Structure formats: C-alpha cells, structure tokens
Structure 1
Amino acid sequence: MRIVIQRVSHASVTIDSQVKSAIGPGLLLLVGIEEADGPEDVEWMAHKVINLRIFDDENGVMNRSILDAGGDMLVVSQFTLFASYKKGNRPSWLRAARHETSIPLYEAFCARLSEGIGKPVGTGEFGADMKVELLNDGPVTILMDSKRKE
C-alpha cells in the first residue's frame, strides 16, 4: 500500500462537474493498493497517518498530529502509484490491485481513518475520472509505503 500524504489548507474532488467531497485544513491522501496488500497494511498505514506529527505547534515546529490539529481528511484512490516504468515509456499497472482486492481495502482504510479521527473522511469515487484540487500547505508532502516502512 502506498500513500502520498499532503498537508493542505483545503482540498476537493470533483466528478462529472459535481463536488463529491471537500475539506478545509487537514490531509489529502492519495492511496494506491497492490495485490500483495491486506488488512495488516490497512491497519499499519491508518495508525501511521493518524499519528503522523506534521502540523505546526505553537512554536512553528511540526509536532502535532491530525488529531491534535482537529483537521479533516480526504482520501482518493490512486492506482497509478503502482506504475512500473522500467521498460519503455508507457507505464504498466500490473502491480496495482484489481477492484475485487482494492475496493474492500480502500473502504476499510477510510473506515479506520474515520474511526481514528472521530469524524467522517471525504472520499472520491473508486474508478471514476476525478478532478482533485488542493492548496498544499507548507508544502508538506510525504510518501509512505507499507512494505518499506521507512
């Protein structure tokens, strides 16, 4: 499981010219799931994201989590995070999980985040052509991979 975490001032996802979800200050998460992922990846990633201290404290030091900051979350599925570009110039998506694997894990991840922060998280729509808009705050952008755990 791979996640691009972006601290944002605001973010939204639009599908067919309709805003599906919008958030104020918080985190935009672009989530990629591969066939090798399972419930343990969901749990590890959710715990890390919820407790990641990337919001400024009163001294301007990144020392607060999304829980401490009271921020929102927007979670968007992003199979392209598992692009393979080793051969040729057209990426391959073979590592990205098929819908029957990725949808339940994506939904479980969103539910776990919502449970962890005590409020609903915004989502996109799995498989839809989405327009994601954001104002990156900082900018703070972090790449997390459940298999590397760096």
Structure 2
Amino acid sequence: MKVVLTTVKEAAVTVDEKLINQIGRGFLLLIGAEEGDTENDVLKLVEKISKLRVFPDQDDKINLSLKDIKGEVLAVSQFTLAADIKKGNRPSFVSAMSYDNALILYNFFLKKLNDLGIKTLPGEYGAHMEVSSINDGPFTLILQSHNGVLK
C-alpha cells in the first residue's frame, strides 16, 4: 500500500462541481492499494501517520504531530499509485488491487484513523475527483507498507 502525504493549510474534494469534503490544517493523503496489501499494511501506515512529527512547534522546529495540532485528514483513493511505468509510455495498472477489495481497505484505513480520534474525511471512492489544496511547506512524504512492513 502506498500513501502520498502532504501537509496542508486546507484541502478539498469536488465531484461534478459539488463539494464532497474539505478540511483545514492537516494532511492530504493519496492512498493506493496494490494486490497483496492487507489490513496489517493499513495498521502500520495509520500508526506511522498518526505519530509523524512534521509540524513546526513554537520554535519553528519540526516537532509536532497531527494530534498535537488537532489537525484533520482528507484521504483520497488513488489507484494510479500502483502504476508500473517500466515499459513504454503508458502506465500499467495490473498490480492495482481490485475495486471491491481496495474499497474495503480504504474504508478500513478511514475507520482506523477516525478510531484514533483524528478527524478523517474521504474523497468519493471511484469518482473522477478534483482535489485542491494549499500546501503547507510544502512538506510531502511517500509512505509504503507491504506484508505489514514499512518500506
């Protein structure tokens, strides 16, 4: 499972010109599931995301977590993170998890963050979304877990 995490001042998801969800300060997460990913991968990523200290403290040192700043999460499904671009110029998505199984893991991911007391809002799974954000920093990380092990 892959997650692209960006710190934001605000972020929003729109589908067909209708606002689906928006957040204030926190994380915009793009989440991609690949065949073989499991709930253990979700748990490893959620634990790491919830504890990452990537926000500045009063001395402008990167020292605070999402919970410390009472931040929010906008979590957007992004199957294209499973793209293979090794051959040719057209991405292959054969390693992307099936729609139904990825939806189950995505919902589990949302639930686990919410269970930790982190307000987590979804995009619209499977839809063509317009995602907007005001990046804060910018500060962007790529997180990955496979077989319950962070890479």
Counterparts of 1:12 and 1:56, CA distance in 2: 23
How far apart are 1:101 and its partner, in Å? 1.2
Amino acid at match of 1:123: P
Where in structure 2 are there 5+ consecutive unaligned residues?
A: none
SS of the residue aligned with 2:53?
Answer: coil
- In 2, Cα distance between the equivalents of 1:95 and 1:69? 36
Q: Secondary structure at the match of 1:50?
A: helix
Tell me by how many angstroms 1:115 deviates: 1.1
Give 2:11's aligned residue.
Answer: 11
CA contact (8 A) 2:2 2:31 kept: yes
The correspondence of residues 90-109 of structure 1 with structure 2, limited to 5 A, is: 90-109=90-109
Q: Larger % of helix: which?
A: 1
Q: CA deviation at 1:120?
A: 3.5
Aligned equivalents of 1:120 and 1:29: distance in 2?
13
Poorly superposed stretches of 4+, deviation over 4 Å: none
2:67 alignment partner, SS class: helix
SS state at 2:107 partner: helix
CA distance in 2, matches of 1:114, 1:142: 21
1:87-133 per-position Cα deviation (integer Å, ceiling 9, x unaligned):
110000011101121001000000001111x2531111111000000
- Report the secondary structure of 2:50's partner residue: helix
2:135 match: 136
Structure 1 residue 33: Cα displacement? 0.3
Q: Give me the TM-score of the superposition, normalised by structure 2.
A: 0.96
Report SS of the residue matched to 1:73.
strand
Inter-partner Cα distance in structure 1 for 2:93 and 2:104? 19
Instruction: Read off the aligned partner of 2:23 and give its amino acid letter.
Output: I
Structure-2 residue corresponding to 1:122: 121
Q: SS of the counterpart of 2:68?
A: helix
For 1:11 and 1:62, locate their aligned partners in 2 and report how far apart those are by CA, in whole Å: 21
Residue aligned with 1:54, SS: strand
- The sequence identity of aligned pairs, in percent, is 41
Distance 1:108 1:149 in 2: 18
- Aligned-pair RMSD on alpha carbons? 1.0
Structure 1 stretches of 5 or more lacking a match? none
Question: How many residues end up aligned between the 2 structures?
Answer: 149
